[in-house]
Chain A
């Protein structure tokens, strides 16, 4: 089972919430691996255990059973203290909600400076300024503009880009992106997806968690389909999407709305969209 090439290896990982009759098995016997430089997407509906899986791999939540191995560190399932710090130097996260992940009492500058606390020998003074500025520039933010701002002064897209800049700054080997686009406007999603693709260019693997098959197809190399805590289908993205075998995957795929397929007939003919379309010629 152990391949030399994999970066992250998850084996028979389970997590149960509650106990007795009210017990819920949020993650059930999940095994998979992520190779260096690979983007793996985990797709599933809400409640399928994707986010729990992310928190388990990030070691923010202890698993009920199973093991997690990381290249160079061995088994990290029971790490604590300093050893866990070493793990977090190599595995970082981008969370779903760019509003609640920010400490609202820290400016962007303080947040990024604080993030460097995980690194063993963080750059100081001008070096630090330079590193932070570079990270912000690579996500398309102007450092002098963004650094002194408080989270509530930034838009959702800007906050999520700050989070990606944070990942770039720390240069982890694996980034776990837990639905990073779900709280963003559609127009910003592609930007964020492209930034995630950039992470790979800089040598990070990405575990991309999403409920959107389209985004998974756009970004990922491999696909894991999760349903009720279990991985029900896996394989290269194109192969899975071309010939889905599990009924759940087939249903997911059928539910993806396509442009040009026509709109559902139930929509009233005089919907608000028509009015919007007429406006330019009318004005």
Chain B
């Protein structure tokens, strides 16, 4: 593989507890196929639960009041009710859907900006590279949660799309740096000389001669951004700055914190969304690490 030959700068997240878990799994000898299929299985189950669950189970309205304050789980309400007497199980389905959507939009926006900035900087070099990487480094040094909080406050009505875009435009710098390094190593390849002699301009060279050669890498960066987008949304929603007029996994955590679910022992209000967030992020990171090994055979254990 050509891409494998290039040095592979890693995105952040090395210290993330889930990454540590995956490293332990790696050491534990769980093979690439197992990890790949486990992650696909988990993600598939969660996507089906979030997208088809409400239809299949006939629970259409997550904001409908069906019981009292923190009713415990029963045959009527499988995971009990929340502080307003709403069905937690139904909320979980819609919350998963919202979180996945926001993560997907955030990942797409971050990858798009990151790839555009990274390829342009790595390809053009010189002043343009200095300027673009300068901006990137400035954005990296500002804690993204601060920008997220300020942006969320500034925008009064936050739809799911707006949330995704807000998270995306604060998390692209890591992708940009990694893509820049890859581009710089691809820039000297001979097929680019031939393309230049064929009259290809910068845009054509980047789109046709550079990006296809690192598509696998970009896809992995996207998976990581997807995972971190979901977690960022949860963090913002936990602070009450999530999307308005909808339910997400983070918003569920927000309400359960506000209404003292932890202290009153209403575990069904905060435990399910926490588990779901963990499973989603875990499955995505597992997917990324198995893809990394797939695309980069040198990482494979014998």
Contacts and interface: CB of A to CB of B under 8 A. Distances in A.
A103 interface: yes
Contact of B200 (A58, A93, A117): A117
B193 A101 contact: yes
A95 B190 CA distance: 8
B55 to A, nearest CB: 40
B2 A117 contact: no
Contacts of A93: 193-194, 197
Interface string B198-220: 11100000001100110000000
10 contacts: A60-B196, A85-B199, A92-B197, A95-B190, A95-B193, A102-B191, A103-B209, A105-B212, A114-B195, A114-B200
Interface in A52-96: 55, 58, 60, 85, 88, 92-93, 95
Contact of B191 (A101, A116, A117): A101
Interface of A: 55, 58, 60, 85, 88, 92-93, 95, 97, 100-106, 114-119
A88 B209 CA distance: 19
The B contact surface, by secondary structure, is: helix
Contacts of B191: 100-104
Given A101-B190, A106-B208, 17 more contacts: A55-B193, A58-B193, A60-B196, A88-B199, A97-B190, A100-B189, A101-B193, A102-B194, A103-B208, A103-B212, A104-B2, A114-B198, A115-B198, A117-B200, A118-B197, A118-B199, A119-B199
B5 to A, nearest CB: 11
A22 B189 CA distance: 24
Contact of B198 (A97, A105, A117): A117
Nearest to A106: B208
A100 B197 contact: no
Contacts of B213: 105
Interface residues of B, number: 16
Interface in B84-116: none
Among all A-B residue pairs, the 9 with the closest Cβ atoms: A118-B199, A117-B199, A105-B212, A115-B198, A103-B191, A100-B190, A101-B190, A101-B194, A60-B193
Nearest to B211: A105
A52 B5 CA distance: 24
| Most-contacted residue by chain A among B193, B197, B198 (CB, 10 A) | B197
Contact of B197 (A58, A104, A105): A58
Nearest to A98: B190
B208 A95 contact: no
B190 A105 contact: no
Contacts of B194: 93, 95, 101-103
Contacts, number: 53
A115 B191 CA distance: 12
A211 B62 CA distance: 76
B62 to A, nearest CB: 45
Contacts of A114: 195, 198, 200, 208
Nearest to B209: A103
Contacts of A116: 198
A11 to B, nearest CB: 23
A139 B234 CA distance: 62
A88 B197 contact: yes
A47 B2 CA distance: 25
Contacts of B198: 114-118
Nearest to A85: B199
Contacts of A118: 197-199
Contacts of B200: 114, 117
Nearest to A81: B201
Nearest to B210: A103
Contacts of A119: 199
A85 B200 CA distance: 10
Nearest to A112: B198
B182 to A, nearest CB: 16
B169 to A, nearest CB: 30
Nearest to B189: A100
Interface in B211-266: 212-213
Contacts of A95: 190, 193-194
Contacts of A117: 198-200
Nearest to A117: B199
A51 B199 CA distance: 21
B128 to A, nearest CB: 15
B199 A103 contact: no
Nearest to B194: A101
Contacts of A88: 196-197, 199
Contacts of A58: 193, 197
A95 B192 CA distance: 12
Interface string B1-23: 01000000000000000000000
A116 B197 CA distance: 10
Contacts of B209: 103
A103 B198 CA distance: 12
A97 B212 CA distance: 20
B209 to A, nearest CB: 6
Contacts of A106: 208
Nearest to A167: B197
A142 B213 CA distance: 29
A122 B200 CA distance: 14
A185 B189 CA distance: 24
Contacts of A60: 193, 196-197
A105 B208 contact: yes
